[in-house]
Amino acid sequence: MSSNPILRTALVWGGVFALVLAVVAGGVGFAVDGSRGLVSGLLGTLIAAFFLGITAGSILFANRFSSSDMFVPIYFGVVMGGWILKFVLFLVAAWILREQPWVDPQILFLSLIVGVIGTLVIDCIVIARSRMPYASDVRLPEYTGTDD
Partner 1 sequence: MDSTTLLAEINGNIATVGYGLAAIGPAIGVGIVVGKTIEGVARQPELAGRLQVLMYIGIAFTEALAFIGIATYFIFTN
Q: Which of 39, 48, 49, 78 binds partner 1 (CB under 8 A)?
A: 48
CB closer to partner 1, 141 vs 145? 141
- Tell me whether residue 48 is exposed, middle or buried, using C-beta atoms within 10 angstroms of its C-beta: 0 to 12, 13 to 18, 19 or more: buried
Radius of gyration of the chain (CA): 20
Q: Which of 31, 87, 92, 96 binds partner 1 (CB under 8 A)?
A: 87
Of the residues 69, 88, 129, 137, which one makes contact with partner 1 according to CB under 8 A: 137
Interacting residues toward partner 1 by CB under 8 A:
1-3, 6-7, 10, 48, 51-52, 55-56, 59, 63, 72, 76, 79-80, 83, 86-87, 90-91, 94, 98, 105-106, 108-110, 112-113, 116-117, 119-120, 123-124, 127, 130, 132, 134-139
